[in-house]
Amino acid sequence: MLARLPSTQPPCVLIVDDDEVDRRFVQRAVRNQFVFLEADNELLAISLIRTHTPDCVLLDYHIPGANAMAILEACVQSYIPMVVLSGVGNETIAAEAIKSGATDYLPKTMLSQASLTRAITNAIEKGILERLLHEKQQELETFVATAAHDLKAPLRTVVTQCQLAQLLTQETLEPEAQQALATAIMAANSLFDLVQNLLDYTESGRSTKPFEPVDLETLARQVVADLDTIISDSDALVEIAPLPTIQGDATGLRQLLQNLIGNALKFQNHERPHVQVTAVQEEAWWQIRVSDNGIGIEPEVQKQIFQPLTRLHAASAYEGSGLGLAICNKIAHLHQGTIRVESALGRGSTFVLNLPATATSEG
Ligand code: ADP
């Protein structure tokens, strides 16, 4: 996606409000500065966000029958800034919206030319910066993908040649030299795994295959079967509730479930790890929840863990590369969905995946 830089065209603002009087009021207040699109319901709003990519969305958070969060998520995915309009006494809801990615909020009682102009202009500027940042991240990812790809073959050679040297010299080499060789092989293997994980990260969420029906329950059961050794070694209980079939990319969704269930089993200090995978449908969305009774995550860092290479623990405590959840995040976005965590330190974690019941591939 290209960042939209300032142009001579007035910026385009989508007003999402079921009340026509309110929509007119906003347009009259700031009519010469912006061009407007209007939506009075959730589906039209999401469709206009995807097709017209407005520069800013103004959302009345209380449209009857609409899932404001779904509209907000559509904005977040397209890097479109959103200003939430809320009624009196709804400050908590507004704060929640900001936490979930809205740029700003304005109480409806304080709407004026000055407040609207300021909020919309600030939001648009922030949106431009975020899109530029996103583009830079994309460039960086391309660089990482190329570097990881080029590193893989020589690294594989280092591992195999060291293993060969180990084999050829096992009778003759001093114990210290043997130990040094074994340590070098171990380090080269970890480096190889990291490079492979980096490649997986850059490749994840990029599938161009058309979406197909994917039975999430079958996928989850396959993942659990693959983790059989870890499950029986830790005496874990893994429960899979009935899960839906959705349109999606089977390889990506399998990787996503594998990362979430794998983490739920890994970040544990409980005598008997307990992992549950459940699903509920909320209007046009499926919510898939992967819960554990593990070590939990402090609220302050819950957003960071979806960024690449973020780990909260030393590799000596829990091994890993810090890329698993970043991969999950990309796969959720590929399905026009979102992922977040609900957790408290020492109280287990629930990873919540929201997927549209009728996702379509963009590839
Ligand atoms: P990795 O598992 O390779 O370290 P991830 O990207 O999967 O990387 O996770 C990032 C970090 O988030 C982990 O290092 C861990 O600190 C935290 N984390 C992930 N899943 C859980 C969980 N179920 N319970 C507690 N912490 C978790």
Question: DSSP letters along 117-154, please?
Answer: HHHHHHHHHHHHHHHHHHHHHHHHHHHHHHHHHHHHHH
CATH of 212-356, one of 3.40.630.10, 3.30.565.10, 3.40.50.2300, 3.30.70.360: 3.30.565.10
Q: How many helices (H) and strands (E) does the chain have?
A: 10, 12
| Most ligand 1 atoms within 8 A of CB, residue of 267, 341, 352 to mutate | 267
Testing ligand 1's pocket by substitution, the residue of 190, 227, 305 carrying the most ligand atoms inside 8 A of its CB is: 305
Same-fold call for 12-132 versus 212-356: no
Measured in angstroms, how far is the CA atom of residue 237 from the centroid of ligand 1? 19
- Residue 175 sits at φ, ψ, to 5 deg, of -55, -40
Phi, psi for residue 281 in degrees, rounded to 5: -100, 130
Residue 322 CA to ligand 1 center (angstroms) comes to 7
Instruction: State pLDDT tens for residues 304-317.
Output: 999 988 889 877 78
Task: Choose which residue among 311, 343, 352 to substitute to test ligand 1 binding: the one with the highest number of ligand atoms within 8 A of its C-beta.
Answer: 311
- How far apart CA 82 and CA 200 sit, in angstroms, is 32
CA–CA separation, 159 and 137 (whole Å): 31
Q: Write out pLDDT tens, residues 76-104.
A: 888 899 999 887 667 777 777 887 789 99
Q: What percent of the chain has pLDDT over 70?
A: 96
362 falls in which pLDDT band (50, 70, 90)?
very low
CB 93 within 8 A of CB 60: no
120 contacts 59 by C-beta, under 8 angstroms: no
pLDDT tens digits for range 18-53: 999 989 999 999 988 999 999 999 889 999 998 999
Q: What mean pLDDT is predicted for residues 131-135?
A: 90
Q: What per-residue confidence (pLDDT) applies to 360?
A: 52
Closest atom of ligand 1 relative to the 323 alpha carbon: 6
Q: Residue 240: pLDDT above 80?
A: yes
pLDDT category of residue 323 using cuts at 50, 70 and 90: very high
Which protein residues are within 6 Å of ligand 1, measured from CB?
259, 263-264, 267, 292, 294-295, 297, 305, 310-313, 320-326, 349
For the chain, the domains span 12-132, 136-203, 212-356
pLDDT band for position 114 (cuts 50, 70, 90): very high
Query: Of ligand 1's atoms, which has the minimum distance to the CA of residue 325?
Result: 6
Per-residue pLDDT band for 283 (boundaries 50, 70, 90) equals confident
Fold classification of 12-132 is: Rossmann fold (3.40.50)
Q: What mean pLDDT is reported for the chain?
A: 89
Cα 174 from chain centre: 50
Rg (CA), the chain: 24
Examine the pLDDT at 324 and tell me if it is beyond 50: yes
Contact 350, 268 (CB under 8 A): no
Tell me, what's the pLDDT at 118?
94
